[in-house]
């Protein structure tokens, strides 16, 4: 079934002030179909929003299609952005320069793309910091990170949700931007060797859709949630893990890579991945393949033989090699009651749940606790003699003040506390996938390239789908994924806007006015906990975000009025005012 502009209201939940309409559009001949937009962006994550804002501000009719019901993508799980020469650095007395950043990054990555790295170092202040702070984003600190000789890893007051929300609200204020939610894109239309639109399916209704535009920007993220794809493209020379967990967004399946390659775009450096070394099996995952990020900087790491094998505070790219050479690609973080609260975890919204105790250490499915090292060994299966000897050796090194075995600390360094206060803890850790560092090949305007290195007319790839344009080389860096997502999104938006400014105008569908809302004075909650449990009793396509968020509502016993109102009623949010009101409650979970 092919749905034309007049049917869009029926299949999409839109969040702009206007939605694509209406049945009164003139019929188009088969050889001259009406475009639905001037550009279609696939993905409402950080790079997709960046491109949309550029286009919306330029007056370009833009349709953003996302398989979820809310913006954010993988960036909601992320931390900060690496930037150079910012006011945050200046206030902290940090002296930085593009030349210093370039040298740092090229040394760390081994083979990072020199042109993109230079461009990013010289333009991150203007293209990222100045741009997003004008939208209301506030960076509060610049922190140190591997691969940086000075602090340049910038954070908002909390996770990257405080970066996403101001940008999403900005996009909602631009009338030329329309959002189509719960819609999965399955393919590209290509006509006369140029992109002409997309095909897909509305996940909630099951309706197949065909949407037309002379430009398509793919912003679908990476592929690190597809373990088969990761392992079949494993990094040459790096030992293959015996077990690896999924640490990326649930939607990071490589769908954008597939549709780009099927249309004729080239993929490059697909065997480059940023693999984290501190994955904890999520206790709420029945398949036990998804990970949370966890760790305790005071912990001792022991392999399956009960022996220490690496510098626990060393460079992650070196630790990864040491870890992959261990039996089972695993280790146990060992610590005691004195440093229990130092074990931090991130990667799941439910971790903010006001549950008693520690969400991981007090969960027997996630951690082991015992009153003696002998008992700890018995529960974990680690050899007791080796475990006890390793802890004794570690304590002795702490007493002497020098780690002669792995160089973790030396004279003048802050020492970890001895591991001696029961109960003792052991948390099993694994490598985990996180970010793709290869993908669709692009030029300096984020235009997709074909197998011969030629521009694929009308097709763009931004953010993680292009591997962050090779800036991370062979070794990922903190803050060098969100940043390139914004930069490449903006560059693609600017390129499309420039092209459309000199092109003939398109015959586009009219835009209708905003839907009416309930009367605030008469609105009241009408859904009971039993009703909600019934809705959540079975998974439904297109309701992933709904299910995740409302399971937490039941767990935390939230009142409906905490998130819902006349502006956010018990119905699909289908107008700008409601969607913006909805963004005000995102931090209840994130």
Name the strand (E) or helix (H) holding 483: helix 482-501
Q: Are 42 and 481 in contact (CB under 8 A)?
A: no
Collapsed DSSP state (helix, strand, coil) of residue 391: helix
Averaged over successive runs of 10 residues, the pLDDT of the chain (590 residues) comes to: 36 36 32 83 97 97 94 82 98 98 97 98 98 97 95 90 94 95 96 96 96 97 97 96 95 96 98 97 94 96 98 96 97 98 87 79 95 98 98 98 97 96 98 97 98 97 98 95 97 96 82 68 81 89 88 86 86 80 83
Nearest partner of 256 among 74, 117, 115, judged by Cα: 74
- pLDDT value at position 508? 86
Q: Are 42 and 72 in contact (CB under 8 A)?
A: no
Q: Which residue has the tokens 């405080």?
A: 162
Alpha carbon distance 355, 73 (integer Å) = 27
Q: Are 213 and 233 in contact (CB under 8 A)?
A: no
Q: How many CB atoms lie within 10 A of CB 123?
A: 16
Alpha carbon distance 184, 416 (integer Å) = 49
- Written as six digits, the tokens of 260 are 């780009």
Long-range contacts of 544-548 (CB under 8 A, 24+ apart): 544/68, 544/69, 544/250, 545/68, 545/69, 545/70, 546/69, 548/349
- pLDDT value at position 516? 67
Collapsed DSSP state (helix, strand, coil) of residue 218: strand
Nearest partner of 226 among 30, 78, 439, judged by Cα: 439
Alpha carbon distance 537, 547 (integer Å) = 9
Alpha carbon distance 309, 300 (integer Å) = 10
Partners of 190 in beta bridges: 195
- Written as six digits, the tokens of 215 are 């430009």
Q: Are 555 and 134 in contact (CB under 8 A)?
A: no
Q: Are 442 and 448 in contact (CB under 8 A)?
A: yes
Count, in order, helices (H) and strands (E) of the chain.
Answer: 16, 22
Domains of the chain, with CATH numbers? 274-432 (3.90.700.10), 529-588 (no CATH)
Nearest partner of 155 among 558, 483, 446, judged by Cα: 483
Alpha carbon distance 119, 127 (integer Å) = 10
Dihedral-angle region of residue 367 (phi above 0 means left; psi in -120 to 50 means alpha; beta otherwise) = beta
β-strands 273-281, 291-295 pairing: antiparallel
* Sheet of 447-449, strand order: 177-180, 62-65, 39-42, 216-218, 455-461, 447-449
- pLDDT value at position 452? 97
- Written as six digits, the tokens of 309 are 């094998």
β-strands 62-65, 177-180 pairing: parallel
Nearest partner of 74 among 82, 64, 66, judged by Cα: 66
- pLDDT value at position 512? 62
- pLDDT value at position 245? 98
């Amino acid at each position: 079934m092919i749905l034309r502009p007049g049917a869009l209201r029926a299949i999409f939940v839109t969040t702009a002030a206007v939605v694509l309409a209406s049945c009164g559009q003139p019929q188009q001949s088969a050889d001259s179909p009406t475009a639905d937009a001037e550009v279609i962006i696939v993905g409402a994550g950080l790079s997709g929003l960046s491109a949309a804002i550029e286009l919306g501000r330029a007056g370009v009719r833009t349709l953003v299609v996302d398989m979820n019901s809310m913006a954010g993508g993988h960036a909601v799980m992320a931390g900060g952005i690496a930037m150079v020469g910012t006011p945050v650095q200046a206030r902290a007395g940090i002296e930085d320069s593009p030349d210093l950043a370039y040298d740092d990054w090229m040394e760390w990555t081994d083979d990072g793309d020199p042109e993109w790295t230079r461009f990013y170092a010289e333009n991150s202040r203007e293209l990222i910091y100045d741009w997003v702070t004008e939208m209301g984003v506030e960076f509060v600190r610049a922190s140190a990170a591997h691969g940086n000789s000075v602090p340049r890893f910038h954070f908002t007051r909390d996770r990257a949700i405080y970066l996403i929300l101001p940008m999403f609200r900005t996009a909602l204020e631009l009338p030329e931007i329309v959002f189509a939610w719960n819609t999965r894109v399955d393919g590209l239309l290509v006509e006369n060797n140029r992109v002409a639109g997309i095909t897909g399916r509305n996940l909630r209704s099951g309706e197949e859709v065909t949407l037309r535009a002379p430009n398509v920007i793919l912003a679908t993220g990476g592929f690190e949630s597809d373990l088969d794809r990761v392992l079949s493209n494993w990094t040459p020379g790096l030992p293959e893990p015996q077990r690896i967990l999924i640490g990326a967004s649930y939607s990071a399946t490589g769908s954008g890579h597939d549709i780009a390659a099927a249309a004729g775009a080239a993929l490059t450096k697909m065997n480059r991945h940023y693999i984290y070394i501190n994955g904890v099996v999520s206790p709420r995952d029945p398949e036990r393949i998804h990970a949370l990020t966890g760790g305790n900087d005071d912990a001792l790491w022991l392999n399956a033989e009960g022996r220490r094998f690496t510098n626990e505070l060393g460079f992650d790219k070196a630790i990864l090699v040491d870890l992959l050479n261990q039996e089972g690609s695993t280790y146990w973080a060992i610590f005691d009651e004195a440093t229990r609260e130092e074990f931090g975890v991130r990667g799941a919204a439910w971790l903010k749940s006001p549950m008693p105790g520690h969400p991981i250490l007090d969960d027997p499915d996630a951690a082991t606790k015992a009153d003696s090292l002998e008992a700890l060994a018995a529960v974990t299966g680690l050899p007791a003699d080796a475990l006890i000897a390793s802890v004794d050796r570690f304590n002795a090194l702490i007493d002497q003040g020098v780690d002669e075995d792995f160089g973790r600390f030396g004279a003048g360094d802050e020492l970890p506390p001895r591991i001696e206060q029961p109960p003792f803890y052991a948390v099993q850790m694994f490598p985990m996938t996180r970010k793709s560092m290869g993908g669709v090949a692009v030029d300096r305007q984020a235009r997709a390239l074909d197998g011969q290195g030629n521009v694929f007319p009308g097709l763009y790839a931004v953010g993680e789908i292009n591997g962050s344009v090779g800036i991370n080389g062979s070794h990922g860096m903190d803050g060098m994924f969100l940043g390139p997502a914004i930069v490449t999104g903006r560059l693609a938006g600017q390129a499309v806007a420039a092209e459309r400014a000199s092109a003939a105008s398109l015959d586009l569908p009219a835009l209708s006015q905003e839907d009416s809302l309930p009367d605030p004075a008469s609105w009241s909650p009408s859904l009971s906990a039993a009703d909600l449990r019934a809705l959540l009793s079975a998974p439904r396509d297109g309701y992933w975000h709904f299910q995740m968020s409302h399971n937490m509502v039941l767990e935390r016993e939230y009142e409906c009025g905490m998130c819902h109102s006349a502006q956010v009623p018990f119905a699909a949010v289908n107008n700008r005012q409601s969607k913006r009101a909805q963004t005000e409650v995102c931090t209840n979970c994130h």
